[in-house]
Amino acid sequence: MKHKEILELLNEMTIEEKIGQMVQITGDVFLSEDTNSILTGPLKDLHLSKEKVYHVGSVLNIVGAEKVKKVQDEYLSKSRLKIPLLFMDDIINGYKIAFPIPIAQGCSWNPKAIEEMTEISSMESSIAGANVNFSPMVDLSRDARWGRVMESIGGEDPLLGEIYARTMVKAYQGNRLSKIGKMVSCVKHIAGYGAVEAGRDYNTVDMSEREFRQYYLPAYKSAIEAGAEMIMTSFNILNGIPSTVNKWLIQEIIRKELGFEGIIISDYGAIEETITHGYSANEKEATRNAINAGVDIDMMSGIYANHLKDLCLENQEIENKVNESVLRILTLKNKLGLFENPYGNSNVVQEKTYLMNPTNLEKAKKLTQETFVLLKNKNHVLPLQKNKKIALIGPYIDNIGITGSWSMFSDRTKNGTILDIFKEKIGKDVLYAKGCEILRQEEINKILSADGLPTVHVENESQKEQEMITSALQIAKKADVILLALGEHYKQSGEACSRSNIALPENQIQLINELYTLSKPMVLILFNGRPIELNTVEEKVNAILEVWFPGTTGAKAIVEILFGEENPSGKLTMSFPQNVGQCPVYYNHYNTGRPHHSNLRYVSRYQDIPTESFYPFGYGLSYCNFKYTDMHLNKHKMKKNETITVTVKIENQSNYAGYEVIQLYIQDLYGSVVRPVKELKAFKKAYFQSHEIKYVNFEIDIDMLKFWNDKLEYVAESGEFKVFVGGDSVNVLEEKFELLK
């Protein structure tokens, strides 16, 4: 359809039909045989009539080619102008093939790997009928208490956020949305959601404009520059105003400054929640605030559907804004080719051949292995030797629930478990004991209750718990090495999963303590959606392999890493705290006037724990042993139109081949505003043969030295800088250079 035809369609629409395009509801209403179903369930709360339902422009979380066709047909059969629905979905880390959760993907430090995962996910999703995916989430995340860090692709670093946001948007959308395998990328959440106070979901965000621009805005900016077609607002307030009705944020920053021309959609019910925030007095005012701010689509609140018409009748300017929003929505549907083919790229035949195909599963396994982070490997207990007797213990040994809390469409029954893969590797005679449940029933009941589900009472739970530990001890006594698979429940991380205790559950710690008495080497495999507190556990195990929630091929990927068939190369994108009381903790912090460099009393420190993180940003071991030496700068004075070449010698002092992520950080020693102790400015992932030596080069240019100064100008200031190169943010070589005026 040509632009002229879209304008003609817009002019033909009634005000009710226009407003309908700006409303999103759940799509299951169109699947019901009961025509009265639209008056019950969630839609009853939204106060939507049958007529309004058949005006809506998009539906939520309907996927599957046959289902999409049925919904679209039902909708179009009763739609006057036959404007097709948009199908939007939460496919956060894969559709049928669940890839590692986003925080894990970021730990690959490999944009190409993330691109490949996104392309497979996009192809699967679009074949299944999805037009829009609410991904990527590019919120900067510094606080492990916040449950949604599991969705944060860039973790605590703005550079990673920029690179990954750009990579994923381009992988989802390509250069033509109607092309097979492509879909709209809806970037979320504008803005600053990762900085919620106390790490508590939906909570307050308050920060200076400089902090916002320096750290939180870059990933959103990168996504917009990559061509993102849609942005979702966040639930939080930002400096006193809910993001969803924040004119400065949406109009001044996103629209004018960053030049975003696509669609702004609210998060689920967020417009209505501005009343609860205490910003909007009632639903009509919430509607006015949202449309004036520039929100094009109201997700699941009924606010626009019930109040926007009255506002249009009262104010021509509001109606003009409605026309602008509807034009954006119709334009996007046209880009997707939906006017010619309302079913988009959905294809029943391709669903049967492409989804979960062996080629993609094998690729998924390889990509998954890049996301694992080896945190400890004392006495080289890993890789495991097949001639050793290995005791498999823990609730995640024989568990298919390793895909994460957002993997609602994946087929978990086809995952396979660690126990299954071990039996394939070393035969059926495997030493196995569950050892404990993931959580005690009391903790599970809290989760069930929060989800509105009935709780369960277990008789003699403490007795059963002790019996499981006893059985595990008996198995472990027969083994040379103990392999423990422990961690969070998948429902302990994700949206609405903030936690003040981020240690392993007490029953799991009890199991570790009991097994520790056997004085046998122990390898801990960690399943979790956030950095967790390990200070009481680390000293009792010989090795720790962080696998997050690794997805469909996770079990096979884990076992191959454990036996050395592949070499771990992941690096942390979020710091692990010493203790939850340290949160938020992040590497690119500012110095205080009394930094903690000694045990003196009057310095910035804790009395009971170290100041530094337990495992730092960028950290991750390998079966290789990489040694960094001979760092060299080709010059130590730099003009603003010049570059400096940094060279470092890296030697793989081991018999293993593997990847290393070489990281470059810069510190601006003195500025018009205080600058962080270091900031990641570049990285390279390089493959080393055993005992290979490489000289790795980086170019420092003027853009790496820019920041938002005291006048909120984005500039580089002359003066002294430090440059650091290493395998993480702490263990680095350093040199100085000067930027001349």
Residue 634's alpha-carbon distances to 629, 638, 700, 724, 740, in angstroms, are 16, 10, 11, 15, 16
Q: Is 550 in contact with 371 (CB distance < 8 Å)? A: yes
For residue 241, give the nearest of 250, 229, 232 by alpha carbon.
Answer: 250
Tokens linked to 660: 């290393």
Beta bridge partners of 732: 726
Residue in the structure block whose two tokens are 């058949």: 54
Q: Is 219 in contact with 192 (CB distance < 8 Å)? A: no
In sequence order, which residues have a C-beta less than 8 Å from that of residue 283 and are 6 or more positions away? 272, 275, 303, 306, 307
CB atoms within 10 A of CB 380: 11
Q: Is 150 in contact with 96 (CB distance < 8 Å)? A: no
Sheet holding 431-433, edge to edge: 373-377, 543-546, 522-527, 481-487, 390-393, 431-433
**270-277 vs 283-293: helix crossing angle, rounded to 10:** 120
**Catalytic residue of the set 89, 143, 157, 267:** 267
Beta bridge partners of 687: 659
For residue 506, give the nearest of 448, 547, 445, 462 by alpha carbon.
Answer: 462
* Neighbour-count burial of 673, counting CB atoms closer than 10 A to its CB (0-12 exposed, 13-18 middle, 19+ buried): middle
What is the phi/psi pair of residue 267, to 5°?
Answer: -75, 175
- The secondary structure of 178-194 as a DSSP string is TSTT--EEEEEEETTGG
Q: Backbone dihedral region of 699: left (phi > 0), alpha (psi from -120 to 50 degrees) or beta?
A: beta
Tokens linked to 45: 């709360």
In sequence order, which residues have a C-beta less than 8 Å from that of residue 73 and are 6 or more positions away? none
CB atoms within 10 A of CB 594: 11
Question: Does residue 267 have an active-site annotation?
Answer: yes
What is the phi/psi pair of residue 354, to 5°?
Answer: -90, -40
Tell me the helix, strand and coil percentages in the chain, rounded to 5. Answer: 35, 20, 45
- The secondary structure of 162-221 as a DSSP string is HHHHHHHHHHHHTT-TTSTT--EEEEEEETTGGG-GGG-TT--B---HHHIIIIIHHHHH
| SS3 category, 682 | strand
Beta bridge partners of 738: 637, 720
For residue 430, give the nearest of 384, 368, 365, 497 by alpha carbon.
Answer: 384
| Tally: H helices and E strands in the chain | 22, 26
Burial 638-667 (b: 16+ CB within 10 A, else e): beeeeebebebebbbebebbbbbbbbbbbb
* Neighbour-count burial of 320, counting CB atoms closer than 10 A to its CB (0-12 exposed, 13-18 middle, 19+ buried): exposed
Quote the CA–CA distance of 332 and 132 in Å, as a whole number: 10
Q: Is 700 in contact with 644 (CB distance < 8 Å)? A: yes
Beta bridge partners of 503: 533
Residues identified as active-site = 267
